[in-house]
């Protein structure tokens, strides 16, 4: 039996690298697997030997104990790999292909998939639309922070890289195609970023930095990134962003110092439900802070892109309303200003091929922008701990030694 090592959630603040089953073309019972999916056949799937799999801020929400994730859930939804086995129904993907895996699992057959809404596929999660690898309440598809992983509907889901050698040479950039680059790009697109736009990105974590890069790629005139972490703000400045320090107060005054007016055309929430207060309230958890501040600083008629994660169940929230995802929003202000809002999972397949071409043809250096650093699978607990402590780093796990040097 082939060994398969994987990163699993153990308890709040704790992950471990464990031995787990080698994947098969059938979903088995296990931590987080929806009972209705147990025994589901996957002849349309492939098994990948993982090349890279990244630690994501969404994983951190689970690891902090802020979701209902069960013990021993295998983590990881940002996956790039080499095909080592193909199911009998796979036609166009072959053993040896190097591929990117969208974090959304989608069937390609339902109404939503046919409308390119792959983040809310109707057929992969018995509980609700939408699914992902290694994530709580997302159908129970096993995560990819492992040496081997099963990917269903392979002909539909997988983005094949055109040249193996080129892909491995640019793998630290291409690994971002599974989630954070398309997610940041989606935030920029849905907020309305275009040539000459002024943009405020709340949050300088990897998704926020990816959103900032995306805004630049889309032609923004000025991109402003706000955070409380000086190292992350320095990372944003490293590729030409303006920055504001939210420990010094609400963003509006600082935006006015940069632009001459206290508002931007487009706002992007790259923080999500673990948001904290600004200025005198810094450090106090206030989950609606970012959304309300974005409504304040975004000009009338502007747009808000919200790739930051919000959940329906947060056992660690400070009040009963927040525990079920009910937040105190200034919706009246948003209505009065005719702001548009876009929320939910990024439909990765809507963007990943175009962003792949931008990477392959040297139009963007996303790995440099997010300060990507490769570490071994066995070193994942350290990566989680450092990322949780605020490291201005995107940790890329290297489970099978493809990344050398």
Domain 180-343 homologous superfamily, CATH? NAD(P)-binding Rossmann-like Domain (3.40.50.720)
DSSP 84: E
Contacts of 368 (CB under 8 A, 6+ apart): 239
Q: State in words which class domain 4-179+348-397 has.
A: alpha beta
Q: pLDDT category, 309, cuts 50, 70, 90?
A: confident
Find the mean pLDDT for residues 348-365.
97
pLDDT value for 392: 94
* Structure tokens belonging to residue 377: 């699978």
**Integer Cα distance of 156 and 44 in angstroms:** 9
Which three-class secondary structure state does DSSP give residue 305?
strand
Looking at per-residue confidence, does 17 or 33 come out higher?
17
Q: pLDDT category, 281, cuts 50, 70, 90?
A: low
Chain position carrying tokens 């990372």: 235
Q: Considering the chain, what percentage of its residues have pLDDT values greater than 90?
A: 80
Q: pLDDT category, 317, cuts 50, 70, 90?
A: low
**Integer Cα distance of 161 and 353 in angstroms:** 9
Least confident of 189-198, 246-255, 269-278: 269-278
* Structure tokens belonging to residue 393: 């780093």
32-79 per-position pLDDT tens digit: 888 998 999 999 999 999 999 999 988 888 898 888 888 999 999 999
Give whole-number Cα distances, 131 to 79, 141, 240, 352, in Å: 15, 8, 35, 18
pLDDT value for 277: 74
Q: Does the pLDDT at position 313 exceed 90?
A: no
Give whole-number Cα distances, 268 to 103, 171, 225, 226, 341, in Å: 20, 27, 9, 10, 10
Q: pLDDT category, 278, cuts 50, 70, 90?
A: confident
| pLDDT, mean over the chain | 93
Q: Does the pLDDT at position 323 exceed 90?
A: no
pLDDT value for 280: 67
Q: Does the pLDDT at position 252 exceed 80?
A: yes
Nearest-10 Cα torsion for 194, 198, 201, 207? 30
Least confident of 82-91, 284-293, 317-326: 317-326
* Structure tokens belonging to residue 139: 């159908």
Please state the pTM of the whole predicted model: 0.94
Q: pLDDT category, 187, cuts 50, 70, 90?
A: very high
298-308 per-position pLDDT tens digit: 999 999 999 98
**Integer Cα distance of 214 and 114 in angstroms:** 26
Q: Does the pLDDT at position 353 exceed 90?
A: yes
Q: Does the pLDDT at position 138 exceed 70?
A: yes
Q: pLDDT category, 107, cuts 50, 70, 90?
A: very high
Cα four-point dihedral sign 61, 308, 201, 370:
positive
Span(s) in the chain for CATH 3.90.180.10: 4-179+348-397
Crossing angle (nearest 10°) for helices 230-237 and 206-217: 20
124-137 per-position pLDDT tens digit: 999 999 999 999 88
pLDDT value for 249: 85
Looking at per-residue confidence, does 290 or 221 come out higher?
221
* Structure tokens belonging to residue 199: 């943009």
**Integer Cα distance of 147 and 3 in angstroms:** 8
Contacts of 3 (CB under 8 A, 6+ apart): 19, 22, 147
Give whole-number Cα distances, 327 to 12, 274, 280, 293, 324, in Å: 24, 12, 21, 14, 9
Span(s) in the chain for CATH 3.40.50.720: 180-343
């Amino acid at each position: 039996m082939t060994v398969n090592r994987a990163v699993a959630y153990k308890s709040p603040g704790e992950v471990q690298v464990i031995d787990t089953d080698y994947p098969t073309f059938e979903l088995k019972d296990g931590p987080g697997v929806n009972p209705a999916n147990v025994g589901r056949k996957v002849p349309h799937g492939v098994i990948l030997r993982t090349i890279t799999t990244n630690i994501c801020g969404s994983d951190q929400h689970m690891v902090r104990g802020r979701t209902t994730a069960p013990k021993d859930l295998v983590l990881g939804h940002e996956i790039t790999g080499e095909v080592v086995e193909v199911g009998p129904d796979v036609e166009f993907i072959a053993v040896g292909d190097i591929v990117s895996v969208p974090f959304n699992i989608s069937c390609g057959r339902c109404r939503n998939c046919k409308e390119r809404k792959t983040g809310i596929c109707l057929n992969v999660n018995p509980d609700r639309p939408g699914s992902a690898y290694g994530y709580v309440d997302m159908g129970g598809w096993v995560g990819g922070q492992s040496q081997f992983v099963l990917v269903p509907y392979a002909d539909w889901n997988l983005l094949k890289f055109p040249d193996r050698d080129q892909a491995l040479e640019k793998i630290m950039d291409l690994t971002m195609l599974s989630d954070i680059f398309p997610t940041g790009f989606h935030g920029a697109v849905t907020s309305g970023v275009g040539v000459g736009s002024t943009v405020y990105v709340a949050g300088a974590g990897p998704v926020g930095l990816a959103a900032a890069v995306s805004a630049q790629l889309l032609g923004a005139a000025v991109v402003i990134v706000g955070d409380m972490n000086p190292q992350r703000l320095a990372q944003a400045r490293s590729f030409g962003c303006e920055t504001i320090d939210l420990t010094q107060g609400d963003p509006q005054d600082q935006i006015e110092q940069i632009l001459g007016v206290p508002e931007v055309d487009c706002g992007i929430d790259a923080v999500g439900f673990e948001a904290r207060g600004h200025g005198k309230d810094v450090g106090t958890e206030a989950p609606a802070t970012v959304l309300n501040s974005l409504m304040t600083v975004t000009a009338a008629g502007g747009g808000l892109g919200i790739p930051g994660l919000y959940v329906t169940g947060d056992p660690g929230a400070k009040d009963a309303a927040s525990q079920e995802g009910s937040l105190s929003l200034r919706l009246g202000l948003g209505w009065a200003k005719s702001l548009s809002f876009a929320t939910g999972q990024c439909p990765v397949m809507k963007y990943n091929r175009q962003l792949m071409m931008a990477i392959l043809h040297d139009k963007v250096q996303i790995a440099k922008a997010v300060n990507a650093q490769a570490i071994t699978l066995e070193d994942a607990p350290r990566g989680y701990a450092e990322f949780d402590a605020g490291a201005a780093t995107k940790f890329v796990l290297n489970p099978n030694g493809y990344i050398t040097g």
